[in-house]
Amino acid sequence: MSIFPTHNRNNLIFLNLFGFLLPPLVGADCAHSSGIHFPTRTGGKVTNRKLIFVLLTLILCSGVGLTLFTGAAAADEWVGGLPLTTVQTETVTGDLWFDATPAPNWGEQVVTKTFTLPEAAVAEPGRIAWARLYISAYCGHMQSDYAFSITNSWDGDNDGVYEQVWPETEHGAFQYFVDADWNPVGNDNSEFDGHGEHEPYLMLNDHENRVTSDYFMWYDVKDLISDQTINVNVDTTGSYDGRIKVITLVVAYNDPSSTTQTTYWVNEGHDVCSYFTEDNFGEAAVGNTSFGTTGLSEVTSATLTVDYMASNNGCYGFPTADNNFEYTGETPPVEGTFTNLQLDRDPDTQGAYSGIDSWNVTSSVTGSSDVTLGYARYFLGEGTAAFYKIPLAFLVVKSPIETSSQPPVADFTADVTSGDAPLEVQFTDASTGTVSSYAWDFDNDGTVDSTQQNPMYTYSTEGTYSVNLTVTNEDGSDSELKTDYITVTQAGQVATNDLSISGIVNTVPASAVFARETNPVKVLNVQNTGTATLTNISIAVYASDVSSGTVPVNTTTIASLAGDAKTTVTLIDPTIRDLEGGTVTYTAVIDPDNLIAETDETNNNKSSSAKPLRYNGYKGKGIYWEGGSNITTMHTFDLQGNLLYSTQPDSAYQAVGWESRTETWTASDLPVPDGSTIEKAFLYVAYNWDQTPGGYPWLNINFNGNTLDNGNISTGNGTLYRDWSNFGSYADYEYGLCVYDVTDKFSSAGNSLVMTPVGENKNALYPSTLVVIYGNENETRKQIFINEECDELGLSASSYGTTPEEATAYAPFTGMSIDVEKVTNAMLYSFAGSAGPDEGNLLFNGNIVATNAWQGSSNSGSPLVFEATNYINATGNEAGIQSTTSGGMDALQQILVIEYEESAPSAPVANFTATPTSGDAPLAVNFTDTSTGSPTSWLWDFDNDGTIDSEEKNPSYTYETAGNYSVNLTVSGSEGSDSEVKTEYIVVKNGTSATPALSLSASPLNVTVGEETDVTYTVTGDDSPVEGALVNLSGCATGSGTTDENGTVVIAVNASCEGTIIVTASKEGYTGAELTQQAIEASSSEPSSSSTVSLEVDIIPAISLTVSPNSLDFGKVTPGTPSESLPLTLQNKGGASIKVTAEVDDQENGPFITGLLLDQSIWSSYSKVIAAESSETSEAQLDLPVNYSSTGQFQGSLIFWAEAA
């Protein structure tokens, strides 16, 4: 039961109590009832107290038994179900073959199962007598109408193309046959002929139904089998759950070489055996299905097989469903067995939620009567293991083919015996006795024209024909000659042949029509069924969205087609559909202008199924997606310095379901030279196979202790790129790249990235890459282009509809011109996920410069490194990443680094800084050279007296006495020398002098909350600028900086609140200074910005009461005799003590308001205090006075009120 703690709202719980009340001195026996589960209801008084309802049900009877509902003969009279009945039975000379093993890859929404038929079944056309495909998938709930769709695809010739696709999009809620108030409900199937409004199963169409949480469907596939290997793909993508339980193929076939015959029964339904009938009716759910075996003889074997949908096998009886099951209500709740042959319950195969079991039942199949299979759930099962379903049962009986010691007697018939030429005649053998061979002579000319049992023959010319059939066995032969049996006449224009499409019309690939391109349409098996060769056969293809399908989009001509031959043609639909959406149906028509005389002009066309119109995600998204992008330039740099990158190894890849990942980069992974300036650092996080609802992963990403993202990355701090195939089995599996600017978080000493999922994890992670761009005056000039995107690529004409040119992502490098004459080196770093080994071609400026070039793995995200020096242009440079295998690759960031020749050395220009520049004697000063032009020597004169005091580049010097000192630096190099004199640069004071005070000012003084403002702070001492003073901010804004030689520092101030900002200035040797700035909220009319802080709290309700159990059965109650006491557990889940009282809602003078006792006192006096987070037990009892006169069935409600104690 559920409690909904809210403020000033009432909460209700219903506890079902029921039983039988017998009047005094009446010994009537009433049907037993227990365990009715009524749904939760809400209501009651509106106060500030918590409210719980307990529904009371009582049956008072006086010699009248309880009437139960009856309906369809489903095993489970409460839940419902569709009982199994025989849908196919016949006798064949081969066998009934089936593969009912559980669907593979339990838990996935896209599953392919491959069937291998017996060789004899497909040894020649026409052997298959009957075939059906069964599929079942789970929708996620016993009754609710959750989202459900399923697409079933059939490859019957093992060519890798699914020529038949069945999309099933219908779904609906399932209603139990009986509801909680014992009313017959069921399912409304009245829209289907012969069905009603209250049926124990839900029909979706003529080949699909639903019972409880499973959809079950079937397809007749006899004419779709043309190879021994069959592939079936089932896709439930988009469903709430969609786990696939059953993919079963059943095939009955003939084998002329067999010496035994097989009589089989396929019994089909969707039946249930649950514990609900036990709880509500006090009896076990037992189902049965019969097989019409009466009249069989010489049975040599009989095998019974069930295909069930449950995590636990059921119980079975045979050859009747007789049993002695008795409901006990204990553990197990049912005792007894099937009383005939109790079949073992050890399954042949058990999957997660389906299995098969089979038995040798030869001794029970005698032919003297029909046989019956009884089935029930396993009564010791608990949870999901207590639920049992069965959709299929097969009985296969074998017996010898009758043999005779006499020769056969020939006879035959024909479906037509006269007509215009060409006349097609179907002959049917009607011989008796055992026949081992046939010899047909259709014109009695002494030549055998066919050895088939039931051949078809076309008479092309007029005339009267005698037909002779000779049949033979080991005991002899016999002939039947029918003289002048066939008469063929000449019509005005003689039709000798017939053209038809015996295959299907399909797109390539079969799952979609693609926008922004042409589409191939394959017409399989254009057939000439006559004997004459036909020429110039025209074929036209129409598209439903072009002129409403009235004007062909393309035509072709078959030069010639011999009699009884067939061919397959492919036409290109040149229509360019700019946008995806809707569907397209193709129709192929042979001889659309009726230029060829045919025996049947009505069978010349065939249509495809409706195909969704989609963008093709396996192609370059910049061309083939509306609004799609190439891998474009996002960052450019022109500097002296370089770019470093480091990609984590393949072992860092994390498959779907990963729990956490830590990646580290050492200083040696990204060796930034000393003296360099970090210009930018980018972190590249790539992922794949993402199935997160909403399309974006939820991740916690932490770099060097800094949280980059914590939640849905689409609303986070990175730049996000995505791609997905958009059609087929993996239509919505997203690939993505998220880029973070980590410049201010990067450390040359080493870096760490920690990632964990937030909530449900439905993605896989590629290894991450860290890229650093640094400046260093000692290195050559570089131009750096960084392009970013995510483009999924896959090459396969049949599976993906792509050519190499189409499966190419392009990366144009823009934003800077290149001085080609001065380029010494150009390196391309082409990053791709799942690329290799020996996969992908690299293009540069239109040239294929490397083939099968990437050498990674399915787990890698590393780059192909290519020297592009010889291919560089001044502008318009473009790389191409081209897929070469159907496995596919994921094109990611592309980096082009252009290196220039070293510039001619320039004359040095002297400059320097010092810290500190003033203070008491003795004053130690550190000097730093900032000269340009690559000097090679340094001459320092710290007091400008003409004497060289140091030749170090960055020396230190101590001034011992007070004074103002000028400093001279002379630098020299191969191109000359230069001097810089800073007059009275160093001010040294006596140590006993007063400490000078700093002065501090700011411009502007005040700032706006939430708006970043550059504030210039000026620090002076004795009215002179002070260099090297530390300015620090606190309060409503933080930050710091050091003043330059002009005594100023610019700090970007971003106040987080309205109030004061305290600014201090400090420097050794000075008395510090302080000023106060004001942070003011922006007016409503001005632009503003905001920052969101996620808030989480776990609130324990002050008052929260639950009561269990939610149903009580008082059994049979006689006035004057108290019922047994039944326990109730009251649990306080709140944070404070509560006082609980009771109230009964019953009819006037009803049994509960009259005699319900709680803790041996009348309910109205009940009061109990329950401490926080604890529970108490109370006893409920029904004690009616001896003169209580009412009998029958009663219901009432027990209301528990909870309020603060």
Give residue-wise pLDDT tens across range 370-422: 999 999 999 998 877 789 999 999 999 999 986 556 889 999 999 988 888 89
Task: Please tell me the predicted confidence (pLDDT) of residue 34.
Answer: 26
Residue 2: pLDDT band (50, 70, 90) is very low
pLDDT mean over 945-971: 95
Q: How many CB atoms lie within 10 A of CB 871?
A: 17
| CB contact at 8 A, 735 and 831 | no
pLDDT mean over 939-965: 95
- State in Å, rounded, how far the first CA of the chain is from the last one: 23
Our CA dihedral for 811, 817, 822, 823, rounded to 10 degrees, sits at -10
pLDDT mean over 603-626: 94
- How far apart (Å, rounded) are the C-alpha atoms in residues 426 and 413? 8
Task: Please tell me the predicted confidence (pLDDT) of residue 405.
Answer: 65
Residue 1144: pLDDT band (50, 70, 90) is confident
CB proximity list for 962: less than 8 A, separation 6 or greater: 921, 988, 989, 990, 993
> Does residue 4 surpass a pLDDT of 60?
no
Torsion sign over Cα 800, 805, 806, 810:
positive
Task: For CATH 2.60.40.10, list the domain ranges present in the chain.
Answer: 912-989, 998-1080
- How far apart (Å, rounded) are the C-alpha atoms in residues 796 and 725? 13
Question: Letter for the amino acid at 46?
Answer: V
Task: Please tell me the predicted confidence (pLDDT) of residue 282.
Answer: 85
Strand partners, 975: none
Q: How many CB atoms lie within 10 A of CB 671?
A: 11
pLDDT mean over 612-631: 95
Range name among 84-88, 816-820, 1090-1094 with the lowest pLDDT average:
1090-1094
Task: Please tell me the predicted confidence (pLDDT) of residue 180.
Answer: 58
DSSP code of residue 116: E
Residue 670: pLDDT band (50, 70, 90) is very high
Q: What would be the CATH architecture of the domain defined by 912-989?
A: Sandwich (2.60)
Task: Please tell me the predicted confidence (pLDDT) of residue 1101.
Answer: 62
* Greater model confidence, 225 or 1146: 225
In words, the CATH class of domain 16-67+1099-1204 is mainly beta
- How far apart (Å, rounded) are the C-alpha atoms in residues 84 and 71? 15
Residue 1097: pLDDT band (50, 70, 90) is low
Q: Are strands 976-989 and 918-920 parallel, antiparallel or unpaired?
A: parallel
Residue 32: pLDDT band (50, 70, 90) is very low
Helices (H) and strands (E) in the chain, counts: 3, 86
Task: Please tell me the predicted confidence (pLDDT) of residue 971.
Answer: 95
pLDDT mean over 139-158: 94
Strand ranges (DSSP E) for 254-387?
260-273, 286-291, 301-308, 315-318, 326-327, 334-335, 341-343, 349-350, 355-360, 371-376
Torsion sign over Cα 225, 226, 228, 234:
negative
**Phi-psi sector, 815: left (phi>0), alpha (psi -120 to 50), beta:** left
Q: What would the two tokens of residue 1023 be? A: 């009215």
pLDDT single digits (tens) 954-963 = 999 999 999 9
**Residue for token pair 């010994």:** 27
- 3-state SS class at 870: helix
In words, the CATH class of domain 621-900 is mainly beta
For 791, list phi and psi in degrees, rounded to 5: -135, 110
In words, the CATH class of domain 998-1080 is mainly beta
pLDDT single digits (tens) 899-941 = 998 876 678 999 999 999 999 999 999 999 999 887 999 999 9
Residue 48: pLDDT band (50, 70, 90) is very low
Total number of residues shown for the chain: 1205
**Residue for token pair 């110039």:** 536
Question: Letter for the amino acid at 190?
Answer: S
In words, the CATH class of domain 499-529+552-614 is mainly beta
Q: Name the most confidently modeled range: 276-280, 643-647, 984-988, 1085-1089.
A: 643-647
> Among candidates 1082, 1080, 1088, which has minimal Cα distance to 1006?
1080
* Greater model confidence, 241 or 886: 241
- The rounded radius of gyration (Å) of the Cα atoms in the chain is 44
> Among candidates 131, 374, 152, 117, which has minimal Cα distance to 244?
152
- 3-state SS class at 887: coil
> Does residue 36 surpass a pLDDT of 90?
no
**Residue for token pair 């307990």:** 54
Element (H, E) at 810: strand 808-812
Range name among 237-241, 530-534, 792-796 with the lowest pLDDT average:
530-534
pLDDT mean over 708-722: 95
Task: Please tell me the predicted confidence (pLDDT) of residue 125.
Answer: 86
- 3-state SS class at 670: coil
